[in-house]
Amino acid sequence: MATTQTRAKIGVMTATIIGMNAMIGAGIFAVPATLASSVGPAGLLTYAFVIMAVWFMALSISRVAQLYPEEGSFYTYSRQWGGHLVGVAAAGMYLIGLLIAMGLLAQVAGSYLHEVLPMISQSNLGLMALLALIGLNVAGVQMAELGQRILIITTVFPILATTVLCFTKADPTRLTPFLPKSMDSVLHATKSVIFGFFGFECAASLFNVVKNPKRNVPRALTSSIVLVGGLYLLFVTAIILSTPLSLFVSAKTTLSSVLTQVFPNFGWLVTWIRLAVLSAVIGTLHSMIWSSSALLISFVRKLRSAPMRKIARSKYFNPRTSVLAVGACIITSCLVLSSPDLFFSLTAIFLVTAYALSMMTLLFIPAEWKSGRNLITVGGLGMAGVILTFAVMGVVSALS
């Protein structure tokens, strides 16, 4: 007879779905405009590179999670080789990366809300939406399971609807010139494309809940990354084949405004896509504010300085005040950073560095070298290095 613990284990299919849910997010809707303005059709090569990089990093992080299945994730993983300070650095970078990413999503929400309420500026609408979501989280209003299911539907629907709609006007000649700029532009865009894959690290820590995890977690990770990567590739390919990239006049151009020009007879469908994208962005922000506040509490409790320990023990440091602190950081990010490229670059720098610091633990384990598994680790670190290099160059370019 199976035990309760055994019955609670999940299979490959469920683990794959969890991985897909973790990756598919509202960030994908901010990417097409950036690709159109900076890479052109060769952005498809960027996606191929990023899919491979994410797969290598996911397998490596899942291996670390298998070896060190304790609470704390990035702190725990990085501490194994670098001690407390490196662990704190990895956890802090991960949290900062999330907060910056949410600042961009707030701006995206403002852009789509402006199409519905054109009498109010994009920046004010984004700030108003952010304040409302922070207020809901402070009040303890969280998404129920039904809300999470609705969120994934509203995220996937505009991707699929846009893909199908755009393929009806597919024109292969739009693929030429395929590489209008230098090959460097393909690698420069990796920092933007990987934005749509952030979250894969959540699925890499499933060893405690998956049946036969040594075999099934890598299978689930591979399946989820291939499926999400394939969905994104179809989405971007459809846009490139059907849309004059010149319509994306800047990296802040919304997808729905471009679709309105390309498909004037499908106004009702474009409206549905716009509302679904808006729902996905707001829903993602809502859930991420709460999860980031929990991460902040965990992070502060890891710090060993006397002032931080005093704060951690204070009755005033609780989930609600943590939400306010997180909200203040997101508002700052939203107001201070104006360039989407700067958002993408900074997010990639902080998150990919957290991944790399965690993966490096495997380099200090002799058994990983003997088994040959570190070939994947070295490959993942190399690809992470490429993304980091061009993300740093993006920051320098944006600030110069």
Round the average pLDDT of the chain to a whole number and report it.
Answer: 87
- The whole-number average pLDDT for the span 146-169 is 83
Q: How many CB atoms lie within 10 A of CB 68?
A: 15
pLDDT-derived band at 313, boundaries 50, 70, 90: confident
Residue that has been written with the tokens 């931080």 in this structure:
308
Q: What is the pLDDT of residue 8?
A: 65
Buried b (16+ CB within 10 A) or exposed e, 3-23: eeeeeebbebeebbbbbbbbb
CA distance 289 to 137: 7
Q: What is the pLDDT of residue 176?
A: 87
pLDDT-derived band at 235, boundaries 50, 70, 90: very high
- Of the candidate ranges 137-151, 242-256, 349-363, the one whose mean pLDDT is the lowest: 137-151
Question: 222, exposed or middle or buried, with CB in 10 Å at 0-12, 13-18, 19+?
Answer: middle
pLDDT-derived band at 78, boundaries 50, 70, 90: very high
The CATH number that domain 4-394 falls under is: 1.20.1740.10
Taking the domains of the chain in order of start, what are their residue ranges?
4-394
CA distance 390 to 184: 9
* pLDDT more than 70, % of the chain: 95
